[in-house]
Amino acid sequence: MFKLLGRLGIKEINPGAGTGSAWLDCHGEVLESVSPIDGKVLGKVVQASASDLEQVVSRAAEAFIQWRAVPAPRRGDVVRQIGNAFREAKKDLGALISMEMGKIRAEGEGEVQELIDICDFAVGQSRMLYGYTMHSERPRHRMYEQYHPLGPVGVITAFNFPVAVWSWNAMIALVCGDTVVWKPSSKVPLCAVAANSIAARVLRENGFKEGILSLVIGKGEDVGEKLVSDKRIPLISATGSVPMGRKIARAIAARLGKSILELGGNNGLIVTPNADLDLAVRAILFGAVGTAGQRCTTIRRLIVHDSIFDRLKDALVAAYAQVKIGNPLDEATLMGPLIDTKAVRDMLNAIREIQDGGGKVLCGGEVLSGGIYDAGTYVTPCICEVENDFPIVKRETFAPILHMIRYHSFEQAIEFHNSVPQGLTSAIFTNDIVEAERFLSFEGSDCGIANVNISTSGAEIGGAFGGEKESGGGRESGSDSWKAYMRRQTNTINWSGEMPLAQAIKFGPA
């Protein structure tokens, strides 16, 4: 373990703020990174203080003046090199993600691969920062729109994807000409130190030494709140809970800033009588159990037609019984630990509420003990039979709890699906084209992502990622989401020698 940490530049005690060229002598409290695998300390971070944040933001603002002047294809080439650096570090960084966050090795390395893929995507985008031209109503005038770099971008990420979500924002922002200040979750600080170090090294090798990719690890009151309120940061992209999103949104709105919010996902999946149940079981298993239920895209609600409910229930209970739970670094493991013991308590409280309300626990929901399980973070994934109107069904519990709900008509299935306040991702399993098209239509899923015959989990980078309602409304990653990281400008050029006004307005002496 120590050799691996050393290869990633992780020391026993690490500074919690850096500007790319140097780590700061931070002044905050010491934060311990505790592995959910066994409860042991992986390393320590001296957290940033408010004065450390001020240094980071000031240097990011100064670096923006230099970075925005670099041609976009050149910026893209630097990002290409960053992607290659992560290719070399994929196994080590993937293992660190497993050790610090708890997801299995395949998912840890898959997360690094997602970072690499985003770099590749951003390289192409660097040559496609297109504007538009349009015809002017005034003779001998030309109109067009173009996009300019926006400024330093603040990126706030959650624990469940320690490096991927940062890359969705940072790599796109870099090719757009922005600098980046990253505040990661305090639950996974070492992943952030390693990832930022790898990328910053590439920038230094290309002659860009300070402030382009910065990192600041610290408490919300010392760092997070001040970052969000800083007028020098025109855009904040934040991933986390709905309450956190509301708080951030208020602070950004108060200064009329821009935001991308990716918040909770209480994701539903409908299974109709026309579904391929074998296919559905495989998709549901990963979608509900993957990352120990700690994805924003995890399947939380399974809405199943009454005629196939018992068949699907029995198949899923049998599949859950085969899930190997244990050390995520063991290749045979399918589900690792929850992030910490608080997450375990939240899961147990949710199960208790389900039972008190009349719901049934069909399998799982136990805390494991003995050996490595004594860390107190290992649980068995849980399936519960519930009614759609249970209050717990309307909330997101960030744990491997799957709510199974019966429906009787397709209209009722859609009603149940859309009855929660969140709207991130959704899916339907059916081989009926009418059902599929209705689900994808304006009268179907109200989520930002809607799938047919695949899980809610495992979004590709090519499509814009984000949700509706309490899930935030912003979009990250693919498609045209790059526009959020730039400022849009409409330009009109008059080459007529005259001064006609729009709308044929006549102004002046007769």
Catalytic residues: 262, 296
16 CA to centre of own chain:
22
The DSSP annotation for 406-461 comes to EESSHHHHHHHHTTSSEESEEEEE-S-HHHHHHHHSTTS--SSEEEESS-SS---T
User: Alpha-carbon Rg of the chain, whole angstroms?
Assistant: 25
Q: Decide: helix, strand or coil at residue 259.
A: strand
Q: Which residues contact 299 (CB under 8 A, 6 or more apart)?
A: 267, 268, 269, 284, 287, 288, 402, 427, 455, 456, 457
Count of positions (residues) in the chain: 510
Residue 79, H or E segment: helix 72-88
Cα gap 349→338, rounded to integer Å: 15
Environment class of 6 (CB within 10 Å of its CB; exposed 0-12, middle 13-18, buried 19+): exposed
256 CA to centre of own chain:
24
Environment class of 199 (CB within 10 Å of its CB; exposed 0-12, middle 13-18, buried 19+): buried
